[in-house]
Amino acid sequence: MRKNIVAGNWKMNNDLSASKKLAKQVVKKVKKAKLKGTKVIIAPTFVNLESVAKATKKSKVSVAAQNMHFEESGAFTGEVSAKMLKSVGVKTVILGHSERREYFGETDELLAKKVDAALANKMKVIFCFGEVLADRKSNKHEKVVESQIKNALFHLEASAFQNIVLAYEPVWAIGTGETASPEQAQDMHAFIRKTLSDKYGNDVADEVSILYGGSVKPANAEEIFSKPDVDGGLIGGAALNADDFFAIVNAF
C-alpha cells in the first residue's frame, strides 16, 4: 500500500531559531495526534537541516533537503552533496522543484543526475514537476508532465521507485492562491500513474505516492486528498505555520 505523505517545503524562510521553533511545534502536534499512517516531512534550508534533524530525531517527523548537487565532493562552490546531507541525519531530498527549474536553470538532464546521486546514496527523493499556465491553456499539460517524468526518471530500474515520491505541482498554482481543482489534480495524477504503469507495470505504479502541490491550505486539503490518486501534498506557504500545516496533515 502506498503511503500518504504531507511534506512542508519551507523554501528560503525561517532563520535558525524560527526553524527550531517550528520543527518542535510540528513534532509536538504529530506526537499528540493519532495519524493513520500519514508520513510527515519538513524541509528547512540547508543551514538549518542539522538543527531540525536534531529537533525531530526521536519523532515520526522526517527531514528533507530542498536541493542537492550530484557530485560527491570537489570544486563546486556553494553546493551540498548527498553524503553531506546524510552526515547531518538527512535521508530525503526534494529535487526538481519548479523554482529550481525556473530561477536556477535546472534541466531534466541535470535532475536525472541528481536523482541518480541521491539513490546511489540510499536517499529518498521527492521528485517535482508540473506545467506552466501556457502549457495548460494550450492543452499541452499532459505532454509536458510526461516528458519531465520520462527525461529525468525513465532510465531507472523499476526497483528505484521504492525510493521515489512524485510531486505534481502545476507552476500556475504555486504560491498564487490558485489551486488546481480536485478534479484537475485527480485527472493529472491518474495520467501520471498510467504513464508509470505503461513503462513499469501496474505493481510499480500502484505503489508510488503522488503528491499534489500548489496552494494547498487547510480549507482545500481534505477535498484534494480525497481523490483516489492523490496521496498527499507538498506544502509551501501553509507549511510555515504549525497550525495550518498540521490541519493539512490531519486532512486525511
Q: Which residues are catalytic?
A: 97, 169
Only one of the segments 25-33, 45-53, 104-112, 235-243 lies at the binding site for ligand PGA (rule: CB under 6 A); that segment is: 235-243
Burial (CB count <10 Å: 0-12, 13-18, 19+), residue 199: middle
235, 242, 248, 251: residue in contact with ligand PGA (rule CB under 6 A): 235
Q: According to CB under 6 A, which one of 130, 170, 232, 237 is a site residue for ligand PGA?
A: 237
**In the window 6-35, what residues touch ligand PGA (CB under 6 A)?**
9
For residues 184, 188, 191 and 197, what is the CA-based torsion angle, rounded to 10 degrees?
A: -130
What minimum distance in Å lies between the beta carbon of 103 and ligand PGA? 12
> The cell 484537475 sits on which residue?
184
Task: Give the nearer residue to ligand PGA in terms of CB position, either 90 or 173.
Answer: 173
Alpha helices, H only, the chain = 16-32, 49-55, 82-87, 98-103, 108-120, 133-137, 141-153, 182-200, 202-207, 218-225, 242-249
CA separation, residue 141 to residues 39, 136, 176, 222, 228 (Å): 29, 5, 18, 24, 20
Residues 115, 136, 236, 245: which binds ligand PGA (CB under 6 A)?
A: 236
**Does residue 234 belong to the site contacting ligand PGA (CB under 6 A)?**
yes
Residue in 169, 229, 231, 244 binding ligand PGA, rule: CB under 6 A: 169
Contact 237, 175 (CB under 8 A): yes
- One of 55, 215, 231, 249 touching ligand PGA (CB under 6 A): 215
Q: Grid coordinates standing for 111?
A: 535532475
- The size of the interface with ligand PGA (CB under 6 A), counted in residues, is 13
What's the CA gap between 156 and 161, in Å, rounded? Answer: 8
Nearer to ligand PGA, 94 or 110 (CB): 94
Q: Answer yes or no whether residue 175 interacts with ligand PGA by CB under 6 A.
A: yes
Residue nearest to ligand PGA (CB): 236
CB of 5 to ligand PGA, least distance (A): 13
- Residue 67 CA to residue 157 CA, distance in Å, equals 23
